[in-house]
């Protein structure tokens, strides 16, 4: 069998594709990175990184070694033995799967697909996508899957900013459409990952990824709902979670927040609930969890309005500073960040909005939002000039004692001020 790990093409050089590129190239594979964003291509070829937790040194060494090159020329796909697809799978405005990137990528591959190549999809999607959608597109090449080329699915398990596990240390689930494809996929990923877990079909692997994220989505929704109840009951849920976490079995802590962010948890459950309709099956747990989690930014804005009301102020006309626009602490990732939704809702109510985030000096135009803002320096004088400060993302670099000391009011969605003395007089948990 051909050594499919000898040369690899990775399509999509974002938070999933770039770590894979570095991992395979560092272990001796000749790797080509493909992206339609020419700026990413040029940045990588200069040995630079556009993702903060990925060090430039690792990219520079690979460029010097000659084992890596980035390109926007998809004709170069002819030169690799394995093609790995790592493109986004967002939702439409109607909360339905948007597979545009997979479709377009499949069509590009079909133009250059070679006999004997292996194609692996990593993008998170509903069960059946690989076989029902991707393969028919690839077969437009005139080649037949399982006969002329191999096909597999392997769900990405990236967790940006996680310092406990590096990409290669996370067990890699792999699958293929037949025995030969499974063997090829397994051999490729064993080149990089410490442990490879083979499952029987792409549908199983696709569902595995959804289960992992739906599990988190449902449990986060549970604690978000309990947070709302505990606030009415005058109970500190954070203290409750800390106490419950002392149980050494049968309990895993999850934490409330201002909503869900990232490319997976806010999106993946809706992929399954959409597919389930094909089987006349209502996914009530999933849809209820989604309803609760998507309502949390509205709850935060209502909490801001309540705080301002105590000071005889309205949201309309108030100056509000949002701390943190990344979807979680200490990363440079804006995808589906609840902070952006909170900012939009406050702006819609007439508030004058600013933000501060060390990872984002300015905000660019996004698919859903267009804030023409620059990050505000967190000085005592600046903080004191706002009617309310909202802690939406609890970056470690924020000086919370200084923030609380100088702010008129603080709405804390992350319990980031838990250890700040005297917070009760100014801080409201939301």
Which residue would you say has higher pLDDT here, 422 or 99?
99
> Taking the CB of residue 419, how many other CB atoms lie within 10 A of it?
9
The count of C-alpha atoms lying within 13 angstroms of the C-alpha of 227, restricted to the half-sphere facing its C-beta, is: 27
Q: Which class does domain 7-198 fall in?
A: alpha beta
Given a cut of 60, is residue 310 above it in pLDDT?
A: yes
Q: Where are the alpha helices (DSSP H) in 234-251?
A: 237-244
Instruction: Report how many helices (DSSP H) and strands (DSSP E) the chain contains, helices first.
Output: 14, 13
Q: How far is CA 380 from CA 52, 280, 426, 427, in A?
A: 27, 57, 15, 16
Class of domain 216-429: alpha beta
Q: Which residue ranges make up each domain of the chain? A: 7-198, 216-429
Out of 86, 184, 230, 264, pick the active-site residue.
264
pLDDT of residue 95: 85
What is the predicted pLDDT for the residue at 364?
Answer: 83
Share of the chain above pLDDT 70, in %: 100
| Res 325 pLDDT > 90 | yes
Report DSSP letters for 183-233, one per residue.
Answer: HHHHHHHHTT-S-EEE-S-HHHHHHHHHHHHHHHHHHHHHHHHHHHHHHHH
Question: Average pLDDT over the chain, rounded to whole?
Answer: 95
Closest CA to 207 of 104, 145, 276, 258: 276
Q: In this predicted structure, what is the pLDDT of residue 309?
A: 96
pLDDT in tens, 233-261: 999 999 999 999 999 999 999 999 999 98
Identify which has the larger pLDDT, 364 or 6: 6
Tokens of 2: 């051909």
- Residues 117-143: tens digit of each pLDDT: 999 999 999 999 999 999 999 999 999
Whether 425 shows a pLDDT value over 90: the answer reads: no
379 Cβ contact partners less than 8 Å away, ≥ 6 residues apart: none
Compute CA distances 62 → 59, 66, 303, 397, whole Å.
5, 6, 49, 31
- Kindly report whether the global pTM for this prediction surpasses the value 0.85: yes
Per-residue model confidence as pLDDT tens digits over 40-98: 999 999 999 998 888 888 899 888 888 899 999 999 999 999 999 999 999 888 889 99
- For residue 26, the model assigns a pLDDT of 92
Question: Which of helix, strand or coil describes residue 173?
Answer: strand
Confidence of residue 159 (pLDDT cuts 50, 70, 90): confident
The pLDDT assigned to 366 comes to 84
- Residues in contact with 396: Cβ distance below 8 Å, sequence separation at least 6, in sequence order: 329, 330
Q: What is the pLDDT of residue 67?
A: 86
Catalytic residue flag (residue 86):
no
Query: What integer pLDDT is reported at residue 93 of this predicted model?
Result: 84
pLDDT above 60 for 317 = yes
pLDDT at position 52, please?
Answer: 83
Dihedral angle sign, alpha carbons of residues 337, 340, 343, 345:
negative
| Banded model confidence at residue 1, pLDDT cuts 50, 70, 90 | low
Of the given ranges (49-63, 277-291, 336-350), which has the lowest mean pLDDT?
49-63
Phi, psi of 159 (to 5 degrees): -135, 85
Total Cβ atoms within 10 A of residue 67: 18
């Amino acid at each position: 069998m051909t050594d499919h790990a000898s040369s690899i093409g990775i399509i999509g050089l974002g938070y999933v594709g770039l770590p894979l590129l570095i991992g395979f190239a560092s272990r001796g594979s000749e790797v080509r990175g493909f992206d339609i964003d020419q700026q990413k291509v040029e940045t990588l070829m200069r040995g630079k990184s556009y993702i903060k937790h990925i060090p430039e040194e690792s990219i520079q060494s690979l460029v010097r070694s000659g084992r890596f090159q980035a390109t926007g020329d998809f004709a170069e796909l002819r030169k690799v033995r394995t093609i790995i697809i790592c493109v986004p799978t967002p939702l439409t405005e109607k909360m339905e799967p948007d597979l545009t990137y997979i479709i377009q990528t499949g069509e590009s591959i079909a133009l250059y697909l070679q006999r004997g190549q292996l194609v692996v999809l990593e993008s998170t999607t509903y069960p059946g996508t690989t076989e029902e959608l991707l393969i028919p597109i690839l077969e437009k090449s005139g080649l037949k899957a399982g006969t002329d080329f191999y096909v597999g699915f392997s769900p990405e398990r990236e967790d940006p900013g996680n310092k406990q596990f590096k990409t290669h240390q996370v067990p890699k689930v792999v699958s293929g459409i037949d025995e030969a494809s499974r063997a090829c996929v397994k051999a490729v990923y064993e080149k990089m990952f410490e442990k490879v877990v083979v499952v029987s079909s792409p549908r199983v692997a696709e569902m595995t990824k959804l289960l992992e994220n739906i599990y988190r989505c449902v449990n986060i929704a549970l604690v978000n709902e309990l947070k709302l109840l505990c606030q009415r009951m005058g109970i500190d849920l954070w203290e409750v979670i800390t106490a419950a976490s002392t149980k050494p079995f049968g309990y895993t802590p999850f934490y409330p927040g201002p909503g869900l962010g990232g490319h997976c948890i806010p999106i993946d459950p809706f992929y399954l609930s959409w597919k389930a309709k094909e089987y006349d099956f209502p996914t009530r747990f999933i849809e209820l969890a989604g309803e609760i989690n998507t309502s949390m930014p509205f709850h935060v804005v209502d909490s801001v309005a309540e705080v301002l009301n105590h000071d005889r102020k309205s949201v309309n006309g108030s100056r509000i500073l949002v701390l943190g626009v990344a979807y979680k602490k200490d990363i440079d990732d804006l995808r589906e960040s609840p902070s952006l939704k909170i900012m939009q809702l406050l702006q819609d109510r007439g508030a004058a909005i600013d933000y501060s985030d060390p990872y984002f000096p300015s905000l660019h135009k996004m698919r859903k939002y267009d804030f023409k803002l620059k990050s505000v320096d967190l000085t005592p004088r600046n903080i004191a000039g706002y009617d309310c400060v909202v802690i939406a993302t609890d970056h470690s670099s924020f000086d919370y004692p200084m923030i609380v000391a100088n702010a008129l009011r603080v709405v804390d969605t992350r319990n980031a001020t838990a250890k700040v003395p005297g917070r009760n007089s100014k801080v409201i948990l939301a």
